[in-house]
Amino acid sequence: MEKKDFEAWLDNISITFLSLTDLQKNETLDHLISLSGAVQLRHLSNNLEILLKRDFLKLLPLELSFYLLKWLDPHTLLTCCLVSKQWNKVISACTEVWQTACKNLGWQIDDSVQDPLHWKKVYLKAILRMKQLKDHEAFETSSLIGHSARVYALYYKDGLLCTGRRFRKLGVLLFFVISAHQLPHLINDKLIFLDQTDYFHNANSV
């Protein structure tokens, strides 16, 4: 069939197809598929994948995307962030979703914070800390080498730990300073519990 004749025939078929009911259209497609060979079926498969798998986050307005995302839990949202850069960008920018997630963890929301990525970062940090607490990885115990007598005062500031003991004969309180490089755990914002618990007996704050 010549191209011109084929185009005219295709136009007539299209007009007729559009006039059919849904059931008749389905029967027509089933019949055409049964007549198709491997080349036609492969062509149909490739095009159906494109037509059916549509990226709704890319096609919908942001307002509608945000509305749909609000129905998902944070764990699912984090999984969705791995789908593509576009999905990660849209989901991370949904401030209301991450604010709600932080509220559910007990955070007080400061509405003055306008950074769209802020609350997602807050949520991830909180989840990480909770996991560390659950796995007993949030705290470390260290032994500090200093004077062996009872500590009556303890003070920490600007990377320096200062402990004090009382000399009965002198009647004064002397301090011993441990430099910051000896306290790597404190510098890393981790709490230290001295295993010499009796040091804190009757301790006076400075």
pLDDT tens-digit series, residues 176-193 = 544 433 444 443 433 333
Evaluate whether 19 touches 25 at the Cβ level (below 8 Å): no
pLDDT score for 15: 92
pLDDT tens-digit series, residues 43-61 = 888 888 777 777 888 888 8
Q: Model's pTM, two decimal places?
A: 0.45
Instruction: Let me know if domain 56-134 sits in CATH 1.20.1280.50.
Output: yes
**Where are the chain's structural domains?**
3-52, 56-134, 140-200
Q: What is the DSSP string of 182-201?
A: G-HHHHTT--EEES-GGGGT
CA distances (Å), origin 195, targets 70, 113, 141 = 47, 41, 7
Average confidence score pLDDT of the chain: 75
